[in-house]
Structure 1
């Protein structure tokens, strides 16, 4: 039986919960207080059978607090564990390299991922990302500059983009 630890961290935009495996790698994260909802986002090969609530996840909890307090690069060193096919796995790695304060379009994201014609696949990588914040899919916009979608709501996405833009300048 596999298990994962989780903790909820209060943030200016609502509760943020992260699930980590036995090595401390983030399996799923988002602006919710429902760890069960996050568990369902984890790929079946990695999905834990049991969730254990913790007061803190150590470095992961501290980084979430630092990010929301303005240290937008703090998330970069946190290990994330997600699995899928080669394109999605690569696309998630590419997302982690998009600079805070400089969002890209889905078209540019597809190009950065090495498949410029695969705009829908790039959008799918964002939609299937279980580790929000640590794999910053919020940094991808529609071609016309509008927000597009975000699992945790467009108000959260707007706050994150504004927060990062304010720190980038």
Structure 2
């Protein structure tokens, strides 16, 4: 059974979908739980139930917004794709530090495939665990924001929050 909870944050409503193990399978700046569930790989989907609090992941998100920018680092996530590069790229993404965003080309390089800029961008686009797997820390090659599933104002807010600390 997957549990989910939506909390208010300074960047907008944020929903976490968490497995019984405590691992986050999806998260995003939305109240659309069915839409968020669709981001989870079919092999990881289960029945869902709303709860007031999903535990450690929710506490870590609160701590992040309260200024502890490393609070999310220890939260387990479960994502799945058919590709080895994507899984590796998500692990690399978790190592991107707050306040130090990288470009898609640098992210591709960090992921071990410098020429795979589109694949690096796809890893960002297919990330179902926003904020915890910090795709918001990847920018266009010219330094502009690029895209973000949850909107550029949210991405901008997160980057400002991380650079102010």
> Structure 1-normalised TM-score?
0.96
Matched, 1:100 2:98: yes
Gaps in structure 1 of 5+ consecutive residues: none
Find 1:11's aligned residue among 2, 9, 12. 9
Matched, 1:79 2:76: yes
Q: Partner of 1:45: helix, strand, or coil?
A: helix
Find the aligned partners of 1:117 and 1:12 in 2 and give their Cα distance: 37
2:55 corresponds in structure 1 to 58
Q: Do 1:63 and 1:75's aligned partners in 2 also have CA atoms closer than 8 Å?
A: yes
1:36 corresponds in structure 2 to 34
Gaps in structure 2 of 5+ consecutive residues: none
Q: Partner of 2:108: helix, strand, or coil?
A: helix
Give matches, 1:123-162, under 5 Å. 123-162=121-160
2:88 corresponds in structure 1 to 90
Find 2:67's aligned residue among 62, 70, 80. 70
Q: Do 2:11 and 2:158's aligned partners in 1 also have CA atoms closer than 8 Å?
A: no
> Structure 2-normalised TM-score?
0.98
Query: Could you list the runs of 4 or more consecutive aligned residues of structure 1 that deviate by over 3 angstroms after TM superposition?
Result: none
Find the aligned partners of 1:59 and 1:45 in 2 and give their Cα distance: 24
Q: How well do the aligned residues superpose, as a CA RMSD in angstroms?
A: 0.6
Find the aligned partners of 1:9 and 1:60 in 2 and give their Cα distance: 12
Aligned residues: 164
Find the aligned partners of 1:135 and 1:29 in 2 and give their Cα distance: 9
Find the aligned partners of 1:47 and 1:147 in 2 and give their Cα distance: 31
Cα deviation digits, residues 13-38 of structure 1 (max 9, x gap) = 11100001110100000001121111
